[in-house]
Structure 1
Amino acid sequence: MKHSGSCHCGKVAIEVEGQIDSVLSCNCSMCQRKGALLWFVPRERLQVIRGEGELATYTFNRHVIRHHFCPTCGIHPFGEGTGPDGAAMAAINARCLEGVELDTLPIHHYDGRSL
């Protein structure tokens, strides 16, 4: 299934291929503040349709996740990093996807604050 999404102003638009079975809620200092519900996919399943050159990027702590956001509206549609297996992955903010019923998805809580 293909999912479309964007930042709030629409300057950054994405498409992601896959089935959303669950999302992750992380309590690290970044995720806690932005309230993202994350869906992890292999990076090749994410396509930036519009605005890739417009994205701003923020890293912190160990600087292993690149948190991408729109510099106009400030919304974080996705981040990029490396999964435990060493493969490139994308962390999609499910709140930025169109037509996803978040209330129907299981939420796994992750203690990122402890890292």
Structure 2
Amino acid sequence: MREKEYLGSCHCGNVQFKIVTDAPELTTCDCSICVKKNAVMVKVHESNFQLIKGKDSLTEYQFHTKTARHFFCKVCGIYPFHRKRVSPDFFGINIFCLEGFSTEGIPVRATIGAGMP
């Protein structure tokens, strides 16, 4: 897949962002928060992520080591993205928040978050 630009947003539209990715794989995670939010994510380097609108509409949640930074819209509660724990210069983007993103032909890798020290 070639690199492509995608626009993303929360449900109410207060948080809007743009990413560029070639989406080599999608991931799921078995940590306690990812299981509950049931997200499928694409990993994007911070240089390929731009928050367009809604910084003030975001709220942040951290737990355990307080390294990963999970962001949610304060208005509608949707999780659009998070800064990753193992690679904090990358974002995990909720693919269901992306406009026109197709999962067809993209492998999904299950990551192990619950067993991380």
TM-score, normalisation: structure 2: 0.89
Identity of aligned residues (%): 33
Contact 1:95 1:102 in 2 (8 A): no
Match of residue 51 from structure 1: 54
Contact 1:82 1:88 in 2 (8 A): no
Quickly say closer, same or farther: Cα 1:52–1:17, change in 2 above 3 A. Answer: same
Aligned to 1:90: 91
**Equivalent in 68, 72, 77 of residue 75 of structure 2:** 72
Unaligned residue ranges in structure 2 (runs of 5+):
none
Higher share in helix: 1
1:88 maps to amino acid: D
* TM-score, normalised relative to structure 1: 0.90
Q: Unaligned stretches of 5+ in structure 1? A: none
Which residue of structure 2 lines up, in the alignment, with residue 26 of structure 1? 29
Instruction: Please give the per-residue CA displacement for 1:2-53, whole angstroms capped at 9, x wherever unaligned.
Output: 0111001111011001211211000110000111111111112110111012
1:99 equivalent to 2:61? Answer: no
